[in-house]
Amino acid sequence: MTFPEDRLRTGLPVIEAKAFAKDTVRNPAWVDELIRFASDPEGGTVPRKASWVLRHAALDDPAVVKDKAVDILDAVDESQDPSVHRELLKALLEADPAELAKLGEDLYDLGLGLCADETMPVAMVHVGVLLLHASQKPLGQEVAEVWATRGAHADTAPLARFLGKQLAALKQQGRG
């Protein structure tokens, strides 16, 4: 049975998307289809909804993204849609830490880039911080400088506060 792509549409109710996520847990072959749909560089409704369903499936059962971290990261690279990036990266973060460690350099670079890019919204900076931690790479002076600079130029008080807390924790650990 293949994933019902035609059901990924504008106005997809949350309850239906979450039902698709539960069905995806029961039909693991759908994971590859959702990743393929989400990776469409043309963007649009189907990739957005596919990435949303995939994230909810990963939240329901992280095992659905087992051995899929590389595929998900490749889909992020192929997509041009920031909302797809966010959902795919959140799904990726549900993967087993050992699997994520194998992508350490890629996750570190991506996370640092998301934190440094002043055009990124707060949600993507948060994902960037999570990617940095998931990389299992040492977070040191480079990360501290990015967080301090971005926090100093934050568009919102919550972002400045969040990065300030991250920076304080890093310094408390003697790494910043």
pLDDT tens-digit readout, 110-128: 999 999 999 999 999 999 9
Identify whether the C-beta of residue 34 lies closer than 8 Å to the C-beta of residue 79: no
What Rg value do the Cα atoms of the chain yield, rounded? 17
Q: Report the 10 Å Cβ neighbour count for 46.
A: 19
Q: Report the 10 Å Cβ neighbour count for 65.
A: 24
The residues near 11 (Cβ < 8 Å, ≥ 6 apart) are none
What global pTM score does this model have? 0.92
Give residue 5's pLDDT band: very low, low, confident or very high (50, 70, 90). Answer: confident
Instruction: Report how far apart, in Å, the C-alpha atoms of 36 and of each of 29, 40, 41, 75, 99 are.
Output: 11, 7, 10, 7, 20
Beta strands in 93-136 (DSSP E): none
- Residue type for 159, please? L
Buried b (16+ CB within 10 A) or exposed e, 110-142: bbbebbbeeebeeebbbbbbbbbbbbbbebeee
Give residue 176's pLDDT band: very low, low, confident or very high (50, 70, 90). Answer: low
Mean pLDDT of 8-29: 91
pLDDT of residue 92: 98
